[in-house]
Amino acid sequence: MQWFLDYRPDLARLITIDNKRGRTHHLLAVPTQERLRRILKYLLDENEFLSPYGIRSISKIHATRPYIFRAEGQEYRVDYIPGEGNTYLFGGNSNWRGPVWFPINYLILEALKRYHFFTVMISRSSALRVRVF
């Protein structure tokens, strides 16, 4: 962790450092806590990513507003299509990207669990020190 702080200042800004009562705790994460809150706003919105069965791998908003990319006279689209896909690019079945993909849900839960553990660890270590002294 110290290497990132010393030699990669561009990545060091992604490290959350908490100094409580003489102990230093580090969390290396892509989103800062503020960014995580903004991300969760979309992840937990039923009109975006949250579904009754888990987190969608692509936002439901793309059902009405597809992402369109144009290059060299070609148009490429990302639509929200639950169930079977509308092209045969991936065999006609869109399960690799939606509607709910288990590996994405697992990774999201693991990341949130680590954030929670980090914040609980900091608060508990501070509370224990207060009790000891």
Give the pLDDT of residue 131. Answer: 38
The pLDDT of 110-124, averaged and rounded, is: 75
Asked if the model's pLDDT at residue 102 lies above 70, the reply is yes
Question: Is 61 in contact with 47 (CB distance < 8 Å)?
Answer: yes
Helices (runs of H) and strands (runs of E) counted in the chain:
4, 6
User: Which amino acid is present at 84?
Assistant: E
Question: Is 55 in contact with 49 (CB distance < 8 Å)?
Answer: yes
- 97 vs 11, which has greater pLDDT? 11
Q: What is the pLDDT of residues 47-98, one digit of tens each?
A: 999 999 899 888 899 889 989 999 999 998 888 877 666 666 655 555 555 5
The pLDDT of 97-112, averaged and rounded, is: 81
Largest Cα separation within the chain, whole Å, is: 70
SS3 13: coil
- 111 vs 130, which has greater pLDDT? 111
